[in-house]
Amino acid sequence: MSQVLGADLEGVVATFRYPDAKSFREFVEALRKILDEARFDIKPEGVRVAGMDPAKVAFIEVWMPRDAFLEYEVDESRESIYMGVRLESLANALKKGKKGEPVLFRVTDDKVFMQIDSIVVKRFLMPNIEVFLDIPENLSLEHDVEATVIADVVKKAIRDVEIVGRDVEFEASEGRLVIRAKGESRTKIEAVLQEGVSSALLYLEVRNPSVSAYDVSYLKNVLNLTKIAESVDIKFSSEKPLEMVFKSPEGSRVRYLLAPSIV
């Protein structure tokens, strides 16, 4: 009789089951756009993974609280538990999962076992690799503008900008948020969201009128997260980093920071 993959896994220090393989894949794909490898920090309160791209232009952080999982067990006697993976390999494995299919992880010091519970159960065994992190300690930012916008509207605005411009420019004044193309093209395109007029603008606070531009190619990296978030928090100041926060219904969160374009 053949051995079931993962049945003899010894020394398991963490076990967690996420309810939706497709959503988990969207998190991994967003990470993969700026990182080759990632280290998942597994704590009793939840799972965190973060990293910066090689050019130090973009930072991404994914947080999945314990309550977001169907099953969650960690060896609390351990000071730290990490799951280091090559994101391309993980993303390819997750392509086998569909919406609503739970994905199980069992982690040892040198192996990562993954199982997708589908009509046909799919199992994968990967090495738990050492991943070096180079992340600044303090990435807390203050912003002059804070807005919450329907996710699909943000997605469409950025994709429209990509057609005619190299940069996405965000501008905010009292009661008004504008997302427009900025570049050498003579074609102009912008989305104007007005308080009390646009139902897509859920919240807007402008402490100081601000305008700042960001590379559209970097913003494209997180557009797929609009599939798992109904709205997006957008925060910025003039010529300062942009902060975008995507929240899934079950409590997971992705924070994305992007440096302004150099004029």
Candidates 154, 169, 237, 166; CA nearest to 200 is 154
Q: What is the pLDDT, as a whole number, of residue 1?
A: 42
256/224 Cα distance (integer angstroms): 13
The CATH number for 14-127, chosen from 3.40.630.40, 2.30.29.30, 3.40.50.300, 3.10.150.10, is: 3.10.150.10
Which residues, including other chains, have CB under 8 Å from residue 37's CB and lie 6 or more apart? 84, 85, 86, 87, 129, 131
Query: 234 is written with which tokens?
Result: 């957008």
Query: 210 is written with which tokens?
Result: 């601000």
Q: What is the pLDDT, as a whole number, of residue 4?
A: 61
Q: What is the CATH number of domain 145-247?
A: 3.70.10.10
By DSSP bridging, strand 14-18 and strand 71-74 are antiparallel
Q: Are 147 and 234 spatial neighbours (Cβ–Cβ below 8 Å)?
A: yes
Q: Give the residue ranges of the chain where pLDDT is below 70.
A: 1-8, 137-138, 183-187, 263
Amino acid at residue number 263: V
188/181 Cα distance (integer angstroms): 6
State pTM to two decimals: 0.90
Q: Where in the chain is the domain with CATH 3.10.150.10?
A: 14-127
Per-residue pLDDT tens digits for 36-75: 999 999 999 999 999 998 888 999 999 999 999 999 999 9
Per-residue pLDDT tens digits for 228-263: 898 999 999 999 999 999 988 888 999 999 999 975
Across the strands, what pairs with 171? 178, 211
What radius of gyration, in Å, describes the C-alpha atoms of the chain? 20
Element (H, E) at 248: none
Q: What is the pLDDT, as a whole number, of residue 226?
A: 87
Candidates 152, 151, 191, 200; CA nearest to 172 is 191
Q: Quick one: DSSP state of residue 262?
A: P
Q: Are 160 and 168 spatial neighbours (Cβ–Cβ below 8 Å)?
A: no
Q: What is the pLDDT, as a whole number, of residue 108?
A: 95
Q: Where in the chain is the domain with CATH 3.70.10.10?
A: 145-247
165/167 Cα distance (integer angstroms): 6
152/255 Cα distance (integer angstroms): 17
Count of other CB atoms within 10 angstroms of residue 238: 15
